[in-house]
Amino acid sequence: MHAFSVSAPDAGQHWNPQDYAIDAGFVPVLGGAAVRLLAPRAGERILDLGCGDGVLSSELALSGAHVTGVDASPELVNAARARGIHAELMDGHALRFTAQFDAVFSNAALHWMRAPDRVLEGVRRALRPGGRFVGEFGGHGNVARIIAAVQAARAAHGHGSSPFAWYFPTAEAYADRLHQHGFTVELIETVQRPTPLPTGVAGWLRVFAAPLLEDLSQPDREQVRQAAAGLLSDLPRDAQELPLADYVRLRFQASVR
């Protein structure tokens, strides 16, 4: 998921569905905990906010739920449609639904939407009374080592720090926001989830780091990516020797009164 920002609609991030499937295929695979929390039921109308290429939307649909996906990336919306998902091109800050859904679900997308009040306004409006909002995204401290390495690599090559920041709130801060928007929070937790990177640090930087490098020329981006990968060569590794990224997830379940 999935390209959102307020000042720059794509935050320098463009998604190529083929690269996404290779370098980020683990993202929907690891969305299982959020899907279990949602517990989709046959006949429910579910909005998948930041549906990406529709892998998890398809999983939700297996329950018999009617799933609509939205994403701000035209390429990923097309990829989701190719899977048979009803998907619409829509910025998560400007959802255009009113009392249409029993549940809104979101996996690994909300950290791209950097004006969370606008997102929550739209989610609330999209839900019928009693509807639920369930999801998972980056929490406070998420991928902090990777971000620090990219910033250090920029400095080492004479570039200033990137001002870009994903939205990675604490559980307390996000619970407060949910309350302010009229949600009852049934569960919110921060989970440390060291995450194996199937195509290594280089693959992660290739598919996800664009917003931290958007002000640089293509050769400078490549130089900084290589330097950052070097700085991260001592990341811990799993049993298959894959580097483990320092993912922190914020998982929540809320409902509207």
Chain residues in the site for ligand BEZ (CB under 6 A): 108, 111, 138, 142-143, 166, 208, 247
Residue pointed to by tokens 């994903």 = 166
Q: Minimal CA–CA distance to 219: which of 172, 131, 157, 133?
A: 157
Least distance to ligand BEZ, CB of residue 257, Å:
30
The region that residue 99 occupies, defined by phi over 0 for left and psi between -120 and 50 for alpha, beta otherwise, is left
CB of 114 to ligand BEZ, least distance (A): 12
Q: How many CB atoms lie within 10 A of CB 45?
A: 17
d(CA 180, CA 225): 40
Q: How far is the CB of 26 from ligand BEZ (least distance, A)?
A: 10
138 versus 169: smaller Cβ distance to ligand BEZ: 138
Burial status of residue 129 (CB atoms within 10 A of its CB: 0-12, 13-18, 19 or more): exposed
User: Minimum Å distance from CB 232 to ligand BEZ?
Assistant: 14
Q: Name the residue nearer to ligand BEZ (CB basis): 143 or 224.
A: 143
Residue closer to ligand BEZ by CB (options 12, 131) is 12
Smallest separation (angstroms) from ligand BEZ to the CB of 182: 27
Going through the chain in order, the beta strands assigned E by DSSP cover 45-49, 66-71, 86-89, 101-107, 127-138, 183-196, 244-256
Measured from the CB atom, is 58 or 142 closer to ligand BEZ? 142
Separation CA 125–CA 93 (nearest Å):
12
Give the residue with the Cβ less far from ligand BEZ, 183 or 247.
247
